[in-house]
Structure 1
Amino acid sequence: MLRIDDLTKAFGRNKAVDAASIVVDKPVMIGIIGRSGAGKSTLLRMLNRLTDATSGAIMFEGQDVTQLRGAAKRNWQSQCAMIFQQFNLVPRMDVVSNVLHGTLNRRSTFATMFNLYPTEDIHRAIEILDRLGIAEHAPKRAEALSGGQQQRVAIARALMQDPKIILADEPIASLDPMNAQVVMQSLRDIHEQDGRMVIANLHTLDTARRYCDRVIGMRAGRIVFDGTPEQLTTGVARDIYGADETFSEAATSTEIETLSEEVAKLADIAESV
């Protein structure tokens, strides 16, 4: 279904992504982990064609995505929806209009200028918001919502594109643990219920293990791990992050119970000092 062959992105002598190769034969949910600067975001941006590859190929259902230009490239970007860490919503625009922006690629310039949408698209946007549990916020400005709610609006906008692949670049990095779990469960439900491929860049190991079918680890632009969540041991994680034996998974956890335990430990240490 998706094949990436020796994909490389170089900025001068520095290779942000170095000869990455991945084969995905069916829709799955994939988590990509690694420290900041490992090349995770650049890889997703090349998949979506927001950034051009220096070399290598991206094949999707037999088509070389790296060679697409003009309308064909825009069509690919509608099939390969992108969700960003900072939501990329229009803050002063109402929620349902933000979701409807997912249809911009198939609307005329005139309709876009005057914010005209078919009734069926408006109904579909509200249905998607209802599916994500935020339909009651449809008339509100996006800026009035919490971070977790805004990220669900961004997911709804992506679903309006009816994509085959959803790419999520650090979708929970700026969210609290409770909202992080809600957003990740939303992405998991979309994968399971719609049969869509989801590829998400993640910072937390427990999130990758809990929600993903497959985990890819990147270090210094290269893929150094590709396996199941069960194979992602603490030792493997240390290797991916280039850490020593002091590496603690709990410090990056999104599990509320784990975080509470860590806070309690820190409080005990502070008291003893």
Structure 2
Amino acid sequence: MLVVHDVTKIFGQNIAVDHASFVVDRPAMVGIIGRSGAGKSTFLRMMNRLTDATSGEIRVEGRNILALNGTEKRAWQSQCAMIFQQFNLVPRMDVVSNVLHGTLNRRSTLASMFNLFPQADIHKAIDILERLGIAEQAPKRAEALSGGQQQRVAIARALMQDPKIILADEPIASLDPMNAQIVMDTLRRIHEEDGRMVIANLHTLDTARRYCDRVIGMRAGRIVFDGTPEQLTTGVARDIYGADESFSEASTSTSLETLETAAYREAMLTT
């Protein structure tokens, strides 16, 4: 389904993504990990065509999406939905209208300006909210919801596009552990039930191991690891993050159990 070949992105003197190559031959859930500045977000933005690559190819079902322009580029962006760390909702707009914005790429400018949505789309939006467990929030303003609920609204908006691929850029970085788990459970369920490919940038190893079929590690723009969650050992993680022997997975964890254990150990050391 997805072939990434020698993809590079250069900003001035900085190489953000350095000759990245990998192949995903089925609708897997893929996690990309690495420290800040490793090139994870830049890569997803190239996939969604929010930024252009300097060189290389990204082929989806044989078509190089980096070569698309105009109408074809916009059509691709509707097939490749993007979920952001900061949700990117319209705060004062109600939840269901935010979800309906997932249809903007295929609607006329006039209809978009006046928020004119077909009844069928409204019913679909509510059905998606029901599926994600937040249908009761539909009439509320997005700003009235918790962070976890807002991220599920963003996921619902992505599903309104009926995409082939869902890209999630640090989708749980601003959430507490409980909401992080709910959001990741939601993405995993969408992958399994719909057969959609999900590619998520993640900042925690336990999340990548628990939810992903495959993990890609990036360091300074280069892919330095590509394997299964079981192959993601602490030693491999140190190499990905450029860390020494003092590296602790607990410091990057979103797992409630790991955090509780770490807190208990810290309390015991200070008593």
> Considering the TM-score relative to the shorter chain, is it more than 0.5?
yes
1:251 alignment partner AA: S
Query: 1:163-189 deviations in whole A, cap 9, x for unaligned?
Result: 000000000000000000000010000
Could you tell me how far 1:114 is from its partner in structure 2?
A: 1.0
Partner of 2:31: 31
Distance 2:257 2:2 in 1: 37
- CA root-mean-square deviation: 0.7
Partner of 1:49: 49
Partner of 2:263: 263
| 1:5 is the counterpart of 2:5 | yes
Distance 1:91 1:256 in 2: 29
Could you tell me how far 1:268 is from its partner in structure 2?
A: 3.0
Distance 1:79 1:54 in 2: 22
Could you tell me how far 1:89 is from its partner in structure 2?
A: 0.1
Could you tell me how far 1:269 is from its partner in structure 2?
A: 3.1
Q: Output aligned runs, 1:1-273, within 5 Å.
A: 1-271=1-271
Q: 3-state SS of the aligned residue for 1:57? A: strand
Q: 3-state SS of the aligned residue for 1:86? A: coil
Q: Normalization by structure 2: what TM-score? A: 0.99
Q: Which runs of 5+ in 1 are unaligned?
A: none
Q: Which runs of 5+ in 2 are unaligned?
A: none
Distance 1:241 1:110 in 2: 48
Query: 1:47-78 deviations in whole A, cap 9, x for unaligned?
Result: 00001000001111111111100010000000
Distance 1:165 1:148 in 2: 22
Q: 3-state SS of the aligned residue for 1:208? A: helix
Distance 1:91 1:45 in 2: 23
Distance 1:183 1:270 in 2: 34
Could you tell me how far 1:257 is from its partner in structure 2?
A: 1.5
Could you tell me how far 1:22 is from its partner in structure 2?
A: 1.2
Distance 1:258 1:28 in 2: 26
2:261 alignment partner AA: E
Q: 3-state SS of the aligned residue for 1:81? A: strand
Could you tell me how far 1:190 is from its partner in structure 2?
A: 0.4
Could you tell me how far 1:267 is from its partner in structure 2?
A: 2.5
1:129 alignment partner AA: L
Q: Normalization by structure 1: what TM-score? A: 0.98
Query: 1:54-107 deviations in whole A, cap 9, x for unaligned?
Result: 000111111111110001000000000000000000000000000000000111
2:29 alignment partner AA: M
Could you tell me how far 1:8 is from its partner in structure 2?
A: 0.2
Distance 2:13 2:100 in 1: 41
Report the identity percentage.
80
Could you tell me how far 1:128 is from its partner in structure 2?
A: 0.3
Distance 1:32 1:80 in 2: 17
1:128 alignment partner AA: I
Distance 1:219 1:67 in 2: 26
Distance 1:251 1:155 in 2: 27
Distance 1:142 1:266 in 2: 38
Query: 1:95-126 deviations in whole A, cap 9, x for unaligned?
Result: 00000000001111111111110000000000
Q: 3-state SS of the aligned residue for 2:181? A: helix
Could you tell me how far 1:262 is from its partner in structure 2?
A: 1.2
Could you tell me how far 1:266 is from its partner in structure 2?
A: 2.2
